[in-house]
Chains A and B, each alone.
Chain A
């Protein structure tokens, strides 16, 4: 399967703990996106990478959130000192260079539950 993969698929953590999620994009895609989705809502943009450069960040991405894409391939999203409000589905997407609008291919998501 050459689609976008995310690991883990589910994560349960206690409030105050740190968590890290991984996203592996489609291999030839140079753009990578992180979104968060809560129940009854659409995905909310968090951040976007082109190769290893983080080009856009949402104001939703508080200081407790950090994302990296060190070699322009896989990406990690870390949440420090988790809060119950962080419980959500975290989605990763990737897209290839080409004509706008960029078709984004989504992974299956990581569901985070903070207890």
Chain B
């Protein structure tokens, strides 16, 4: 039972434009959400987090939006750069320790 879903397996964006990666979840008890970026042959790298008391968190070019009523979060990357090309995972947790990951979205930023 997939509690965290990333329905777009891939996304292509022109360099300089906005990338929007989406994530849906089913468990209303999730309170903590993370986004990770993964390059081939490496472990995931933490990008940004948000807890349920907020609806937005920004860190440089990365912004995460949380809509608890819709059980939806999104990651915005502005402006997109070729080095952002990677697989992006969202993850959710009730406790902040056991995280459930989505299946990932492969982002390609075209120069």
How many chain A residues touch B (CB < 8 A): the figure is 26
With known contacts A43-B101, A48-B97, A103-B34, A108–B41 Cβ distance under 8 A: yes
Q: Min CB distance, A16 to chain B, in Å? A: 28
Chain B contacts of A31 at CB under 8 A? Answer: 97
Chain B contacts of A44 at CB under 8 A? Answer: 101
A45 touches B (CB below 8 Å): yes
B-contacting residues, A27-80, CB 8 Å? 31, 33, 35, 40-45, 48, 55-56, 58
In the complex, the answer to whether B34 meets A42 with C-beta atoms within 8 Å is no
How many chain B residues touch A (CB < 8 A): the figure is 26
With known contacts A41-B103, A45-B98, A45-B99, A101–B43 Cβ distance under 8 A: no
With known contacts A101-B32, A109-B43, A42–B96 Cβ distance under 8 A: no
- Distance in angstroms between the alpha carbons of A102 and B91 in the assembled complex: 12
In the complex, the answer to whether B103 meets A40 with C-beta atoms within 8 Å is yes
In the complex, the answer to whether B32 meets A100 with C-beta atoms within 8 Å is yes
B100 touches A (CB below 8 Å): yes
Q: Min CB distance, A26 to chain B, in Å? A: 12
Contact with B along A8-35 (1 / 0, CB 8 A): 0000000000000000000000010101
With known contacts A55-B97, A58-B98, A42–B103 Cβ distance under 8 A: yes
Q: Interface on A for B, CB 8 Å cutoff?
A: 4, 31, 33, 35, 40-45, 48, 55-56, 58, 91, 93, 100-109
